[in-house]
């Protein structure tokens, strides 16, 4: 793997990057609508007509299995009067607008527009659904609104190889049904949430049960191209977070980040992987959407969900929301990156890497 150079600065992004409306609008154009984002797992759209929807900035999107058995992406907007076409997820024989009943095939072709046969020169082919790129990596679905974007597999270098090497149960994963209870709404800018995810410098103070689970002496953070990895090779079956079998196949922990919004990883004790998107709703509100996937329907360890949903996630949400409030203080603009010469696991190198990607995408002029 070829590591990329870090951005040439020892300080974090200026605080205005986290609350200025004009920067948020620029991010939507230059980051959100030009890059690859996680949308779901192929098992969720296995048959023709199965679909998922995704909110990405101001855009609502449809990912659907077409009549040709291929995954397709369409803007969830009727070409007549812009009404939303589908809600949530499910399966359809065709796509009918709830407003004026324009009907589209699963392949996005306008099939029926009432009264159009009486309109001279009306060409249905001019009003097919607008589309975007859809791709998969290891059965995980990603979308990109930029039709000219470089394929994700080319952008992400050895990300897929690394994932397969470290997750031997990858091809046996399927999303947990009715995976609910996870807090997902955070009153903070999306970059605050990513910053928090990318470092464990805060873990000893803010996540006492987590550092009792993970051996922090064996914690490593590495950065590559447009992704990074946090890895702990040693964990403790008996701990204050949740206990797991000392003979379980998974005894380590690994978190990945894939630019710009995808977070994924596994924890010790079970063949399970979380996959989520950290997506902005507004300049100061973020939704972290996603799910746990388990291999062969394996049960999660006792108290696992209680710890993740009621303790760890809630600790992180409180941290992020406090930071968002502080970023608006006249007393603060930038802070230093805490990176020791040895690049220990608690160094903030992945945050620094992320900030460099932000500045590069925005043209460095904020």
CATH classification at residue 110: 2.102.10.10
Chain centroid, CA 109 distance in Å: 30
d(CA 192, CA 288): 12
* CB-based contact 339:348 (threshold 8 Å): yes
The pLDDT of residue 5: 40
Q: What is the DSSP string of 105-169?
A: -TTS-EEE-TTGGGSTT--GGGGPPPEEEEEEETTEEEEES-TTPPPHHHHTTTHHHHHHHH-TT
* CB-based contact 346:219 (threshold 8 Å): yes
Neighbour count for residue 134 (Cβ, 10 Å): 20
Task: Write down the residue that tokens 């023709």 correspond to.
Answer: 48
d(CA 183, CA 288): 8
Q: Per-residue pLDDT averaged across 10-30, rounded?
A: 97
Same-domain pairing of 289 and 258: yes
What are the structure tokens assigned to 25, written together? 């609008």
Same-domain pairing of 233 and 119: no
Say whether pLDDT at 6 is over 90.
no
Same-domain pairing of 112 and 207: no
- The answer to whether position 150 is within a domain reads no
DSSP state of 32: I
Q: pLDDT exceeding 90 applies to what percent of the chain?
A: 90
* CB-based contact 197:257 (threshold 8 Å): yes
d(CA 230, CA 125): 49
CATH classification at residue 330: 3.90.380.10
pTM (two decimals): 0.94
- The answer to whether position 354 is within a domain reads yes
Q: What is the crossing angle of helices 190-197 and 313-326, to 10°? A: 130
Same-domain pairing of 111 and 78: yes
The pLDDT of residue 364: 64
**Distance between the two ends of the chain, CA-based, in angstroms?**
31
Number of domains, the chain: 2
- Under the banding of pLDDT at 50, 70 and 90, the label for residue 9 is confident
* CB-based contact 142:39 (threshold 8 Å): yes
- Under the banding of pLDDT at 50, 70 and 90, the label for residue 365 is very low
The pLDDT of residue 195: 98
The pLDDT of residue 4: 45
Task: Write down the residue that tokens 């696991």 correspond to.
Answer: 345
What does the mean pLDDT of the chain come to? 94
What are the structure tokens assigned to 53, written together? 């929807």
The pLDDT of residue 179: 76
Q: Per-residue pLDDT averaged across 214-218, rounded?
A: 93
| Boundary residue ending a domain (89, 115, 144) | 144
| Residue, of 179 and 260, whose pLDDT is higher | 260
* 82 class by beta-carbon count within 10 Å (0-12 exposed, 13-18 middle, 19+ buried): exposed
Report in angstroms the alpha-carbon separations of 306 from 7, 180, 286, 313. 39, 12, 22, 10
Range of the domain at 276: 15-33+157-362
Say whether pLDDT at 3 is over 90.
no
| Residue, of 345 and 24, whose pLDDT is higher | 24
* CB-based contact 279:286 (threshold 8 Å): yes
């Amino acid at each position: 793997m070829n590591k990329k150079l870090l951005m040439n600065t020892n300080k974090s992004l200026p605080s205005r990057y986290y609350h200025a409306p004009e920067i948020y609008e620029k991010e939507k154009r230059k980051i959100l609508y030009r890059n690859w984002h996680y949308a779901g797992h192929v098992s969720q759209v296995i048959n023709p007509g199965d679909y998922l929807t995704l909110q990405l900035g101001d855009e609502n999107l449809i990912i659907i299995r077409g009549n040709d058995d291929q995954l397709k992406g369409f803007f969830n907007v009727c070409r007549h009067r812009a009404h939303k076409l589908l809600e949530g997820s499910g399966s359809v024989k065709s796509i009918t607008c709830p407003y004026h009943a324009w009907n589209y095939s699963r392949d996005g072709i306008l099939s029926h527009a009432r009264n159009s046969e009486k309109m001279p020169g009306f060409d249905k082919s001019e009003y097919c659904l607008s589309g975007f790129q859809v791709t998969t990596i290891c059965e995980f679905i990603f979308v990109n609104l930029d039709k000219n974007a470089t394929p994700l597999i080319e952008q992400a270098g050895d990300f897929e190889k690394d994932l397969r090497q470290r997750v031997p149960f990858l091809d046996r994963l399927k999303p947990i049904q009715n995976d609910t209870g996870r807090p997902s709404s955070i009153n903070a800018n999306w970059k605050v949430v990513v910053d928090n995810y990318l470092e464990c410098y805060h873990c000893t103070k803010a996540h006492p049960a987590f550092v009792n689970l993970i051996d922090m002496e064996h914690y490593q953070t590495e950065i590559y191209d447009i992704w990074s990895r946090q890895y702990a090779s040693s964990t403790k079956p008996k701990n204050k977070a949740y206990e797991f079998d000392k003979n379980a196949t998974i005894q380590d922990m690994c978190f990945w980040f894939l630019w710009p919004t995808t977070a994924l990883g596994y924890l010790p004790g079970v063949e399970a992987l979380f996959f989520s998107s950290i997506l902005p709703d507004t300049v100061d509100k973020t939704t972290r959407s996603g799910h746990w996937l388990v291999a062969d329907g394996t049960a999660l360890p006792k108290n696992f969900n209680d710890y993740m949903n009621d303790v760890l996630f809630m600790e992180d949400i409180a941290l992020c929301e406090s930071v968002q409030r502080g970023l608006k203080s006249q007393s603060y603009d930038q802070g230093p990156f805490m990176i020791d010469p040895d690049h220990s696991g608690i160094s903030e190198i992945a945050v620094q890497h992320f900030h460099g990607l932000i500045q590069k995408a925005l043209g460095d002029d904020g």
